[in-house]
Amino acid sequence: MLSNYKLDSEDEKILNELDNLCGVVQNKEVLKDIILYIKLKQKNELDFGNYNIIIRNSSSYNLLNDLIKVCSKVFLKYNIIENNQICYLDKILNSRRDCPFDKITGIEDSIIVINDRKLRINYNDELDNLSRIVNQFKNKVFIFEDTNFCEGEADGELDGLAPFRMTIDKISLDDKIMYCINSLDEYGIKYKKQDIKNYADVPFWILKNMITKLLIETKIKNLDFVDKQMLKKNKEFYSINTTRKRNKRNSKKNEEKNAKEELNELIGLNDIKKQIEKILNYVKLNKERGQMPALHMCFTGNPGTGKTSIARVIGKIFEEESILSGSSDFVEIHGRDLVARYVGWTAQKVHETVEKAIGGVLFIDEAYSLVTNDRGSFEDEAIATLIKEMEDHRSEICIILAGYTEGMKNLIELNPGFESRIQFTINFPDYSSKELLDIFNGLCKKENYKLSDNCKDTLLNNFNIAKNEKNFGNGRYVRNLFEKVKFEQADRVIQSNSKAINSITNRDIESAINGIQHNEKEKRKIGFCS
């Protein structure tokens, strides 16, 4: 009896095709379940109603088509579909609810792909009609591409219409290494595995071109082995585009200051600037010695003390000094953003977030929010996965955990894995009243406002008082005050029909301060009453 549900050699051959595709190999087990389900359904032992699939697509490359083509081979083999043609529908109704489905161009194809985000135009009307269509056309397989911002939303809304779920990941370094190895193995080219890892550490679209050129070169020269020098030369040829792009960006008129100039121009933070310089020297020297250290950091301190600003500058410095590839932008998230809503999804979410920041900085604010007393929780899973990712990509990304001093201390103490992977810890002190005034003046200068002579004392007095408040916001408080001053200034200028539209007076500042103090009193009342 069990032999009836075993995979045959053709099944195994189809499944093994996923091994050679980047970003989709994790779906091998799902496709195996689909094959087994087909066998069970044919013997009337299990019936979900259809074979439809929700595919969570997190990749910017066209991997969806590759995955569907492999799936179609299974459906075709077991006569679930009539042909292996794929129809991509942007909108299912062609703007008319009563449009007959069989009149839509492409409906003769057996696999219908619908992007869930695009389907959400007139979603309530569409869903009822979609249910009818799925039930009407049993000889077709519907693929719902889930690209929504919130993962899991499509699964809930399409409940019952698609019993299977697959994922398409962002292409990881491991995927790219696999791609290189498979390409070289296919043509009998030998190599050293340790050389491939460094070679493959580029965006995938560049890597594909690199491999094409490399294979042509080896065949022309009748080579059966690629050494480290040949790989390096090949990679350098394709890095020219990145270099040109960087040079073009730097040569623009009114170009942005380089990262070190940005660092030096930040107000205050003198001790931290010295630490950053020492960190940079340490990393550069160790890289030259071939002993690249981990780049991960921990920032502690009160809100608004410059943690995010410093993290951004560090990313730019690492790019300009060729410590990181700079292939990714600065990614900023809250600690809770790493926790998914469903069992088994958190690890994938952490992995995707880290992949997005490879080559740059992943800044995790309020990382201590992952601390929980529940063992085996989603938060524990997020921490365990994050620690693993920090180790796996120790020299490819700078992950910065940030938050209040006590909260971060608690996070590190409860999870010793962080301590061995965080190379640098930086404590951010509160700004002095003078530094807060400098920040306010800087905001005014940036937006071409001019302060009247008697504003300085009012601001300094306010900063001295505000600094004693619990959870004082430092630079964040100053920016909030500045926005409220602009609001009061605009009202005064319009009411008085003043021509001095760029002038901020002491009256504007006092009105803004009184407004903030009033709001704080109201918050306390509400908090007390509740």
Parallel, antiparallel, or unpaired for β 53-57 and 361-365?
unpaired
pLDDT at 63: 86
Residue ranges of domains in the chain: 2-168, 173-250, 259-428, 433-529
Phi, psi of 168 (to 5 degrees): -120, 115
Parallel, antiparallel, or unpaired for β 450-451 and 361-365?
unpaired
Question: CB neighbours of 275 closer than 8 A, spacing ≥ 6?
Answer: 424, 426
Q: What pTM was estimated for this model as a whole? A: 0.54
Run of H or E residues at 398:
strand 398-403
- Residue 489, token pair as written in the block: 């200034």
Give the C-alpha distances (Å, rounded to integers) separating 523 from 477, 487, 519: 16, 21, 6
Distance between terminal CA atoms of the chain? Answer: 65
Reading across the β-sheet that carries 141-146, which strands appear in turn? 86-89, 111-115, 141-146, 53-57, 164-168
Q: Is the dihedral of CA 481, 519, 429, 295 positive or negative?
A: negative
Q: Is the dihedral of CA 355, 357, 359, 362 positive or negative?
A: negative
- CA–CA separation, 512 and 480 (whole Å): 10
Parallel, antiparallel, or unpaired for β 53-57 and 331-334?
unpaired
What are the start-end ranges of the E strands in 7-136?
53-57, 86-89, 111-115
pLDDT at 129: 75
- CA–CA separation, 526 and 485 (whole Å): 25
Give the distance between the most distant pair of CA atoms in the chain: 92
Q: Is the dihedral of CA 144, 150, 155, 157 positive or negative?
A: negative
pLDDT at 508: 93
pLDDT at 248: 47
Query: Nearest-CA neighbor of 338 among 291, 274, 382?
Result: 382
pLDDT at 172: 81
pLDDT at 159: 75
- CA–CA separation, 22 and 315 (whole Å): 28
Bridge partners (DSSP) of residue 450 are 503
* Angle of the 475-496 helix axis to the 455-466 helix axis, nearest 10: 140
Class of residue 433 by CB neighbours under 10 A (exposed 0-12, middle 13-18, buried 19+): middle
Output the tens digit of pLDDT for each of the chain's 530 residues: 455 678 999 999 999 999 888 888 889 999 999 999 999 998 899 999 899 999 998 776 778 988 999 999 999 999 999 888 888 875 444 443 444 454 555 567 789 888 766 555 444 556 777 788 888 888 899 999 887 656 777 788 787 889 999 999 878 888 889 889 999 999 999 998 888 988 998 888 888 889 999 999 999 989 999 988 899 888 888 765 544 444 444 444 345 578 888 898 899 999 999 999 999 999 988 887 777 888 999 999 999 999 999 999 999 998 888 888 776 778 999 999 999 877 668 888 898 899 888 888 999 999 999 988 776 678 888 998 899 889 888 888 999 999 999 999 999 988 888 988 999 999 999 999 999 999 999 999 999 999 988 899 999 999 999 998 877 889 999 999 999 999 999 999 999 988 889 999 999 999 999 888 767 666 555 554 44
Choose which CATH entry (3.30.310.50, 1.10.8.60, 1.10.1060.10, 3.10.620.30) describes domain 433-529.
1.10.8.60
Contact (CB, 8 A) for 107 and 142:
no
Q: Is 448 left (phi over 0), alpha (psi -120 to 50) or beta?
A: left
- Residue 202, token pair as written in the block: 């580029």
- CA–CA separation, 78 and 162 (whole Å): 19
Q: Which fold has domain 259-428?
A: Rossmann fold (3.40.50)
Fold identical between 173-250 and 433-529?
A: yes
Per CATH, the number for 173-250 is 1.10.8
pLDDT at 100: 47
pLDDT at 91: 46
- CA–CA separation, 455 and 440 (whole Å): 11
Question: CB neighbours of 130 closer than 8 A, spacing ≥ 6?
Answer: 92, 114, 119, 161
pLDDT at 352: 86
The stretches of 43-158 forming alpha helices (DSSP H) are: 64-77, 116-119, 123-136, 153-157
pLDDT at 402: 95
- CA–CA separation, 100 and 136 (whole Å): 12
Q: Which fold has domain 2-168?
A: Rossmann fold (3.40.50)
What distance lies between CA 440 and its chain's CA centroid? 32
pLDDT at 253: 35
Query: Nearest-CA neighbor of 17 among 67, 58, 52, 83?
Result: 67
Q: Is the dihedral of CA 313, 314, 317, 318 positive or negative?
A: negative
